[in-house]
């Protein structure tokens, strides 16, 4: 009796397994497997949007709403636009208006859509040894050039901040090539905004920074004081002037130039960033920690 059962039970289990397998195969043709990977959207973004944590805050909301995986690659504006030119990403979010407009004119992008702004700051030691406090940005740069004694740390990395710096030098009456050769006081770091701030802080030098990265960097250093004696010695020295406006825009990559672009989802991301709900979240982001807006939503002021 036991001998018969030992053959009968495996036979029944094998038959049952085959039956269930057949049912599974039949149902898989009718509906997608739950293990199938979600589609992906690739975004190249400027470092300030990433380093402040804004993308980390918005990314899961977009992924949940559109059931998609968002791949966010951060670099300076120059590198982000280069990725867009090659068709390696579906959308770019950057902050250099002239370069964005050229990017579109050259056929790489479809439309420049501003979604947030803040301002650049010239920061430096509280003692302000160059005596530029209260000046316009243009006058402050002229003073730094003429004194040639106080260090200025430039990002020097083809980023949006680096482009803005070059624009201010030009408005101050100096070609950038001349500034680069003006002396040891001018240092091109070739690094991101956070590391540039750290370098300027160590050397008690001046630098140009976006407001969002400055505030988040200051906040992180204050938290680290519990285990480290490093303090942020840099304070805003020049924070007013039309030229300091810093606008962030999203641009969908032109599918005619890059046929593999997910243009439908790229447009969804742009609509997401400019929707009333997300605009409010962008405006509120970081206020509790910093007491100031890191980013201001675009409600007509952006250009």
Residue 96 buriedness (CB in 10 A; 0-12 / 13-18 / 19+): buried
pLDDT band at 38 (very low <50, low <70, confident <90, very high): confident
Closest by Cα among 247, 225, 228, 237 to 296: 247
For the cut 50, the answer to whether the pLDDT of residue 13 exceeds it is: no
The predicted pLDDT at position 32 comes to 47
Closest by Cα among 198, 188, 229, 64 to 123: 198
Q: What number does CATH give the domain 119-244? A: 3.40.190.10
Least confident of 27-31, 64-68, 158-162, 293-297: 27-31
pLDDT digits (tens, 9 = 90+) for 96-120: 999 999 999 999 999 999 999 999 9
- Portions of the chain given CATH number 3.40.190.10: 40-118+245-297, 119-244
pLDDT digits (tens, 9 = 90+) for 174-204: 999 999 999 999 999 999 998 999 999 999 9
- What phi and psi, each to the nearest 5 degrees, are found at residue 94? -140, 180
Closest by Cα among 79, 114, 111, 116 to 252: 111
For the cut 90, the answer to whether the pLDDT of residue 266 exceeds it is: yes
CA distances from 180 to 153, 166, 172, 183, 184 (A): 11, 10, 15, 8, 9
pLDDT band at 228 (very low <50, low <70, confident <90, very high): low
Average pLDDT over residues 137-143: 98
User: What value does the mean pLDDT of the chain take?
Assistant: 87
Which residues share a beta bridge with 152? 186, 206
Q: Which residues contact 25 (CB under 8 A, 6 or more apart)?
A: none
CATH fold, domain 40-118+245-297, is D-Maltodextrin-Binding Protein; domain 2 (3.40.190)
The predicted pLDDT at position 19 comes to 36
Closest by Cα among 160, 136, 148 to 209: 160
């Amino acid at each position: 009796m036991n001998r018969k059962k030992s053959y009968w039970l495996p036979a029944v289990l094998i038959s049952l397994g085959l039956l269930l397998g057949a049912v599974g195969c039949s149902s898989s043709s009718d509906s997608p497997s739950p293990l199938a990977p979600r589609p992906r959207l690739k975004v190249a973004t400027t470092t300030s949007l990433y380093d402040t944590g804004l993308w980390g805050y918005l990314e899961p909301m977009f992924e949940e709403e559109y059931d998609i995986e968002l791949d966010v690659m951060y670099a300076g504006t120059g590198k982000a636009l280069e990725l867009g030119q090659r068709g390696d990403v579906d959308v770019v979010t950057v902050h250099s208006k002239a370069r964005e407009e050229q990017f579109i004119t050259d056929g790489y992008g479809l439309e420049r859509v501003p979604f947030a702004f803040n301002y650049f700051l010239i920061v430096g030691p509280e003692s302000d040894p160059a005596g530029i406090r209260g000046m316009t940005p243009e006058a402050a740069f002229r003073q730094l050039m003429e004194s040639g004694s106080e260090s200025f740390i430039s990002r020097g990395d083809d980023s949006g901040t680096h482009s803005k710096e070059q624009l201010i030098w030009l408005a101050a009456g100096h070609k950038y090539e001349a500034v680069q050769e003006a002396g040891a006081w001018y240092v091109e770091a070739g690094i991101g905004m956070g590391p540039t701030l750290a370098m300027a802080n160590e050397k008690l030098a001046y630098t140009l920074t976006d407001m969002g990265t400055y505030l988040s960097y200051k906040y992180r250093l204050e938290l680290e004081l519990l285990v480290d004696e490093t303090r942020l010695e840099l304070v805003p020295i020049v924070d007013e002037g039309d030229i300091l406006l810093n606008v962030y825009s999203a641009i969908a990559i032109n599918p005619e130039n890059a046929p593999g672009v997910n243009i439908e989802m790229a447009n969804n991301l742009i609509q997401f960033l400019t929707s009333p709900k997300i605009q409010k979240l962008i405006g509120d982001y970081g206020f509790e920690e910093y007491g100031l807006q890191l980013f201001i939503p675009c409600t007509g002021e952006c250009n």
